[in-house]
């Protein structure tokens, strides 16, 4: 399971997730930092990545296009730093791996994760 960290999250997420054995790359390493969300989604789908973001627009794109992928994990908290959320995110990845592989939109906060299967 490979994660593409969106521009609105710190590149520090890559190291934090890698410590838990999760492959992660920040969008700034592979694409134009000013790229539209749809290009980020296309790249993630074509390269087998799950988008990890703090941006609600990715869920909207999935809904409007009825896309079956890529999977998206949306963080819905004020504090989006790895120090605050990495264990929660890793738990969500572990608990919902099958759904993420099939195509899902997961919204995560400090206490819960809401899963919606794709297409929306």
CATH code at 71?
3.40.50
The torsion angles phi and psi of 54, rounded to 5 degrees, stand at -115, 10
For 100, the domain range is: 2-117
Give me the mean pLDDT over the 41-58 stretch.
97
Structure-derived torsion over alpha carbons of residues 98, 102, 104, 109, reported in degrees to the nearest 10: 20
The domain tally of the chain equals: 1
pLDDT (0 to 100) of residue 118 = 98
Six-digit token string for 77: 């908290």
Q: What is the DSSP letter of 11?
A: T
In this prediction, residue 5 has a pLDDT band, given cuts at 50, 70 and 90, of: very high
Spatial distance between the Cα atoms of 48 and 98, rounded to a whole number of angstroms: 14
For the segment 67-118, what is each residue's pLDDT rounded down to a tens digit? 999 999 999 999 999 999 999 999 999 999 999 999 999 999 999 999 999 9
Give me the mean pLDDT over the 4-33 stretch.
98
Q: CA nearest 27: which of 9, 45, 48?
A: 9
Spatial distance between the Cα atoms of 53 and 115, rounded to a whole number of angstroms: 15
* Statement: the pTM of the whole predicted model exceeds 0.95: yes
């Amino acid at each position: 399971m490979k994660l593409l960290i969106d521009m609105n999250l710190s590149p520090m997420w890559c190291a934090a997730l890698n410590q838990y054995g999760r492959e992660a790359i920040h969008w700034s390493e592979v694409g134009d930092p000013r790229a539209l969300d749809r290009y980020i989604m296309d790249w993630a789908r074509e390269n087998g990545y799950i988008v990890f973001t703090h941006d609600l627009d990715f869920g909207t794109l999935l809904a409007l296009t009825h896309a079956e992928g890529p999977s998206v994990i949306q963080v819905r908290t004020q504090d989006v730093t790895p120090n605050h959320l990495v264990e929660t995110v890793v738990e969500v990845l572990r608990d919902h791996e099958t759904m993420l592989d099939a195509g899902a939109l997961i919204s995560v906060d400090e206490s819960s994760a809401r899963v919606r299967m794709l297409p929306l």
